[in-house]
């Protein structure tokens, strides 16, 4: 749970000192079946980091502005922080339940970019976690 008792799901990619690999961290506390905080950490290659950078750049999220997006509310919030080279940008919006929330917002185009980028990054992270932690050695 976050400090406010809300479910928390967090992903973090950090390039390591040599730049040829990165640490990927995942944390999830949904309080499902009273589970404790789930944490996973793994190391990925530079090519995976290049792919994450490509996904972020092609999404064009760096051109967006969250000023017209729904503000956090009782249902929660979603945050995204991106640091790419000298660029640093942070976004915050209300928790998005479905595309209806996106299309009914004051900035549906910008929020759609955010929504799909978050979905793409989550799918990538869950695939990496699944591959990394479930493969059994021969």
Taking a C-beta distance cutoff of 8 angstroms, is the pair 106, 94 a contact?
Answer: no
- State whether the Cα torsion 108-109-111-116 is positive or negative: positive
The mean predicted confidence, pLDDT, of the chain is 87
What pLDDT was estimated at residue 134?
75
Q: Kindly tell me the burial class for residue 1, based on how many C-beta atoms sit within 10 Å of its own C-beta (0-12, 13-18, 19 or more).
A: exposed
pLDDT digits (tens, 9 = 90+) for 59-117: 999 999 999 999 998 888 999 999 888 889 999 999 998 999 999 999 999 999 999 99
87-94 and 77-84 beta bridge pairing:
antiparallel
Give the count of beta carbons closer than 10 Å to the beta carbon of residue 50: 10
CATH number at residue 29: 3.30.1560.10
Which among 24, 119, 116 is positioned nearest to 61, based on CA atoms?
A: 116
Taking a C-beta distance cutoff of 8 angstroms, is the pair 11, 24 a contact?
Answer: yes
Residue 131 has pLDDT above 60, yes or no: yes
Residue 4 has pLDDT above 50, yes or no: no
What pLDDT was estimated at residue 51?
94
Regarding predicted confidence, which is higher, 112 or 131?
Answer: 112
Place of tokens 């905080």: 37
Taking a C-beta distance cutoff of 8 angstroms, is the pair 78, 90 a contact?
Answer: no
| Residues contacting 31, CB < 8 A, separation 6+ | 1, 7
Count of domains forming the chain: 1
Residue 2 has pLDDT above 50, yes or no: no
How far apart, in whole angstroms, are the C-alpha atoms of residue 118 and residue 79? Answer: 10
pLDDT digits (tens, 9 = 90+) for 29-54: 866 666 678 888 999 998 999 999 99
Q: Which domain holds residue 88?
A: 8-134
Percent of residues in the chain assigned helix, strand, coil, to nearest 5: 40, 30, 30
Residue 53 inside a domain? The answer is yes
Residue 22 inside a domain? The answer is yes
């Amino acid at each position: 749970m976050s400090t406010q008792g809300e479910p928390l799901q967090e992903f973090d990619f950090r390039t390591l000192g040599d730049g040829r690999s990165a640490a990927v961290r995942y944390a999830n506390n949904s309080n499902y079946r009273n589970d404790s905080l789930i944490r996973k950490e793994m190391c990925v290659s530079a090519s995976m980091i290049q792919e994450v950078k490509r996904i972020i750049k092609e999404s064009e999220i760096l051109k967006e502005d969250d000023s017209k997006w729904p503000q956090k509310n009782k249902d929660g919030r979603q945050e995204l922080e991106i640091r790419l080279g000298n660029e640093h940008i942070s976004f915050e919006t209300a928790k998005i339940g479905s595309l209806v929330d996106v299309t009914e917002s004051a900035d549906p185009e910008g929020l759609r970019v955010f929504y799909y980028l978050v979905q793409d990054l989550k799918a990538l992270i869950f695939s990496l976690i699944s591959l990394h932690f479930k493969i059994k050695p021969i």
